[in-house]
Amino acid sequence: MQIFIKDEAAAWFKEELLQKEEESIQFFVRYGGCGDFQSGFSLGVTVNTPEDPAAVTEKNGITYFIEEKDAWYFDEKDLTVVYDREKAEIAYEHSL
């Protein structure tokens, strides 16, 4: 499992969530919502510090990660984070 962050998505995170450059973005599993990976669950995002990361990537000086406890949700698929211009928000894609 790997994380890929597209340029426009990275810019969105920097503008909408981050207060400082050294902060990290965590993708986590939450119950409910409409997710593409596992039925009945969806993906959340927060500013946090990695503790036991299963996947980590860095883009433009920002660390993005998924904790080991949430790895099951991705079923070994890669996560690509994109920016949806029509909705003006981030969106998620997955691939093997």
pLDDT digits (tens, 9 = 90+) for 63-80: 999 999 999 988 888 999
Q: How many domains does the chain contain in total?
A: 1
The answer on pLDDT for 35 being more than 60 is no
State the pLDDT at residue 36: 63
pLDDT digits (tens, 9 = 90+) for 12-21: 999 988 767 7
**Containing domain of residue 21, as a range?**
3-95
What is the CATH number for 89?
2.60.300.12
Q: Is the pTM of this model over 0.85?
A: yes
Inter-CA distances, 8 with 16, 34, 51, 59, 95, Å: 12, 23, 27, 11, 19
Tokens read off for 5: 């962050």
